[in-house]
Each structure stands twice: as C-alpha cells, then as structure tokens.
Amino acid sequence: MSKGDRRTPPPEPEPLPAPVVDAHTHLDACGASNAAEVHRMVDRAEAAGIGRVVTVADDLDSARWTVEAAGWDERVYSAVALHPTRAKDFGETERKTLRELVRDPRVVAVGETGLDYYWDFSPPEPQQEAFRWHIGLAKETGKPLMIHDRDAHEDIVRILEEEGAPETVIFHCFSGDAEFARRCVEAGYVLSFAGTATFRNANARGLREAAASVPAGQMLVETDAPFLAPHPFRGRPNEPYCVNYTVRDLAELRGESVEELAVAVSTTAERVFQLDRVVGS
C-alpha cells in the first residue's frame, strides 16, 4: 500500500441489513470539533448502517467535549473517564469533574479506564489507583465500566475481583485469546471487538478465535476510531462507518449471517448501555 493509500479513508460500504452501534469511538480525534462536523460524521455512519455511536473521552477536555457532542446529535452518546496512560495526573480536580460529567443523562458509561502496561506514560501504581476509583464510580452511578486493557489482563481481572465488579463490565477493543475470553464470559463481562479482530497476521490468530467463540449476548463491535481500521484497510484513517466492515468480517468468521450478527450486537448494545432510558434517544 502506498503512502497515498494510507491517507485515504476506506470506501463507504453498502449499508448493513440491520443497524448497529459503534460501541467505542473518538469523534474528536477523528477530526470533528463542532456540531456540523459531528452531524456529517454520524450521517456517514448511519448511511452504512451504523445508527448510533458512543464517543469516548481520554482526558478532561475530551470528557467535556464528548458530553457536549452527545447533546448536539441524538445518535451520539458519551463515555467519560481519565485514560490510564494519564493516570499520573489523576487528582482531586479530575475526580470532581468526572463525578459531575458522569451524571449527564447522555453519558452511558464510565470509560475508558483500566491499565496500560505497553506505554510508560504512567507508572502501574497510579494507574491501579485510578482504575479502582473508576470502578467505584461505575458502581455508584449504575453505569457500565468500559475497560482499556493493554498487556494487563491479570491485573485487570484481579482488581475487578478485589473491588467487586460493577454490574456491567465492557472490555473495549478486546485483546485476549480464546481462553481469556472464556474467563471473561464466565465472569459475565461483555467483550467489544474492534478492527484488530479482522486482522490476518499471525498475532491476531488468538483474538480471532476469541471473537468466534464469544456468545452474541456478550459481544459488542466498535471502531476505536480514528485508530485500527479493519481489514483490508489496516493503517488507513478510521471512522464509525467502518464498523460495517468489522461486522461483515466477524459474521463470516462466526458462521452467521450479517443480519444475524448485526441484530445480536445491536440488542446487546441496547441492553448494556440502557439506551432506551437515555433522554432524547
């Protein structure tokens, strides 16, 4: 693929036979900064069968923006937290702000929080402390906990067990193998699969086995846009409409029709995020 191709977004696909939810995206990082740009981005998604999106924060400015964006368009919902790579800066100001923002009726999850041992922006100790605090916030508000887990499977599970997991736990951009998926499913957790689950390299084999094995009632799909564009567009700019490609690929992997999987993950998203209770939906 040439450099020019890598800057070109994937083509807009034929719409899915049933609408789905992009369970985790970053509209601001995709380039949307105002209401008109959010509308255009979500219009593109809806034309591909992605009727609603959850736009997710990674710092306080982003958290404020996601809540504002969710008020601009009824197809947009918000999740707020401080990303684990920023946990060294997690203090009273962050706690107070997030407590205020999470009360907004269009905030449907506490996230993304968790642990990231791949990058060294924050030491493990403040990450774990912040993760424990976010677990408490999710339980306090009754909203799902959206987890970022990178190279930290065992500590994530251990801390969830020690703190007592919230009623709903979502592993965003699930990155484990089939055995770790089995453990998460048995614990009642929900696994959200991004474009990485469509990759064809050897490192993705275990992840694809996991995606093939998870019950549809505990499965979501996402873009994590602007990152992780699905196969065969790996490396290109990503947007919520590209969930379409992920759904089609995973349906084939699982031996299901595209419509069956689309309906299943949409039903799961409705339940997990309690979308029927969100004002303006």
d(CA 161, CA 58): 24
> Does residue 231 have a known ligand-binding role?
no
Angle 71-73-79 (CA atoms, 0-180°, nearest 5)? 60
> Does residue 39 have a known ligand-binding role?
no
CB 37 within 8 A of CB 31: yes
Give the helix, strand, coil percentages of the chain, each rounded to 5.
Answer: 50, 15, 35
DSSP codes of every residue in 133-190: HHHHHHHHHTPPEEEEEES-HHHHHHHHHHH---S-EEETT----HHHHHHHHHTT-E
> Does residue 83 have a known ligand-binding role?
no
CB 148 within 8 A of CB 172: yes
> Does residue 172 have a known ligand-binding role?
yes
> Does residue 256 have a known ligand-binding role?
no
Residue 41: CB atoms within 10 A of its CB come to 24
d(CA 200, CA 209): 12
For tokens 């100001």, the residue is: 93
The residue type of 273 is F
> Does residue 26 have a known ligand-binding role?
yes
Residues tagged in the binding site annotation for a divalent metal cation: 24, 26, 112, 148, 172, 224
Residues tagged in the binding site annotation: 24, 26, 112, 148, 172, 224
